[in-house]
Amino acid sequence: MMNPILAVGSVAFDSVRNPFGEAVHVLGGSATYFSVAASFFTDVRLVAVVGEDFGERELSVFAGRPIDLAGLQSVPGETFRWKGEYGFDLNTRETIYTKLNVFEQFQPAIPAGYRSSPFVFLGNIHPRLQLEVLDQVNPPRLVAADTMNYWIQRTPDELRAVLARVDVLIINDAEARELSGEANLVKAARAIRRMGPRTVVIKRGEHGVLMTRPGEGEFFAAPAMPLEQVFDPTGAGDTFAGGFVGSLAASGETTDAAMARAIIYGSTLASFSVEDFGLDRLLRLTEDEIRDRFRHFKRLTYFDEG
C-alpha cells in the first residue's frame, strides 16, 4: 500500500495581482495547493478549516482525487483570505493583507484513523497549529514543514519549537535568510539544520531549488524549468512541497536518491502550477504531462564529460 500523507495548512480565498493580470477571490491556500499536487502520487488526509462562504463549488476541487476531507472542519465565519501583489519579474511579492478569520479559533482535531499517518506535512500556517497536529499523531516516518515570513516575524518561539521536531524544512530563499540571519544560503541552510531539520530544501523561484542534508551528498541542486508562460507563482512553493512529499510517500524511501528524485517531482509540479492563475493549471494536469516534464528535467542538466 502506498503511504498516505497527513497535511495541515491553510485553505484560502486569494486575490492576486501581477503585471500580467489579476485574480480576485480564487481558491488557494497552502494546504489546497499541497493536497492537489500530492494527490497525483498518493492519498492525502487534509486537516484545515473553512467558513460558511466555502461552498460546493470550492469543495468540488478536491472531488475525484484521493483527498480525504474528514479533517476539514466547516465553522461559522469567513474563510482565510490573503492578497498578494507581484513585481515585474514575478520573483518579488508583497502581501497586501492576511485575514486569518476562521483560523483564529481553529483547533485541529485529528480523526483517529489519521493518527498513524507515516508522512506528515505541516503546511504554512500558525506554528501553534503545526505543533497541535504533531502532538496528536504517533511518531511519523517523516515530518516535512513549510513556513513564511509572516510566522518567522510574528511567532519565532513557536516556530523554533516546530523546527526542533521536523525532518525536512521546505522554505524559500528570503525566508531562509530571515530565519537564520545569514545572507549566504549555504550558511543559512547549515544554521537552520542546527535548529532541528536534518534536511533543508530552499526554493529559489525561477533559479530552482537547493537541498542540503548531512553526509557526502550535502548539496543537491536543480534548476527551474525554463518556461515562456509564467502567469502566477502563487502556490508554487506548496505545489513543490506536494510533489516532493508525494513522491517520497509513494516510494516509501528517504534515501539520498529518493530525496533527489522528489526534488525533481516537486519542481515538475511547481512548473505547471505557475503556468496559469491559481489552481487552474493543476486542475487540468495529467499524469502523462507529469511524466514527460519529469524526463525533460533530466535532459535539462545532462552533460557529457567528454
Contacts with ligand AMP, residue ranges (CB under 6 A): 10, 12, 14, 28-30, 82, 98, 124-125, 148, 150, 234-238
Minimum separation from the CB atom of position 209 to ligand AMP (A): 13
For ligand AMP, give the closer residue by CB, 123 or 251.
Answer: 123
Distance CA 226, CA 275 (A): 11
Beta strand extents in the chain (DSSP E only) = 5-8, 12-18, 21-28, 44-50, 67-74, 80-86, 93-99, 119-122, 142-146, 168-172, 199-203, 209-212, 219-222
Q: Which is nearer to ligand AMP, 40 or 82 (CB)?
A: 82
Instruction: Classify residue 241 as exposed, middle or buried by CB count within 10 Å of its CB (0-12, 13-18, 19+).
Output: buried
Minimum distance of ligand AMP from residue 295's CB (angstroms): 25
Q: Which residue, 3 or 134, has its beta carbon nearer to ligand AMP?
A: 134
Mode of pairing for the β-strands spanning 93-99 and 80-86: antiparallel
Classify 63 as helix, strand or coil. coil
In the numeric block, which cell numbers belong to residue 261?
528524485
DSSP 103: G
Residue number with CB closer to ligand AMP (196 or 235): 235
**Between residues 124 and 268, which has the closer beta carbon with respect to ligand AMP?**
124
Between 134 and 251, name the residue whose CB sits nearer to ligand AMP: 134
Closest approach, Cβ 175 to ligand AMP, in A, equals 9
Q: How far is the CB of 85 from ligand AMP (least distance, A)?
A: 13
Q: In the numeric block, which cell numbers belong to residue 8?
A: 495541515
Closest contact distance (angstroms) between CB of 6 and ligand AMP is 17
Measured distance between the N- and C-terminal CA atoms of the chain, rounded to whole angstroms: 43
Strand 119-122 relative to strand 142-146, pairing: parallel
Measured distance CA(242)–CA(220) in Å, rounded: 19
Sheet holding 12-18, edge to edge: 21-28, 12-18, 80-86, 93-99
Q: Which DSSP state fits 94?
A: E
CB of 32 to ligand AMP, least distance (A): 7
The least CB distance from residue 174 to ligand AMP, in Å, is 11
Of residues 49 and 192, the one with the C-beta less far from ligand AMP? 49
Q: Can you say how many angstroms the Cα of residue 114 is from the centroid of all Cα atoms in its chain?
A: 20
Q: Minimal distance in Å, beta carbon 279 to ligand AMP?
A: 9
Angstrom distance (rounded) from CA 263 to CA 246: 11
158 vs 256, beta carbon nearer ligand AMP: 158
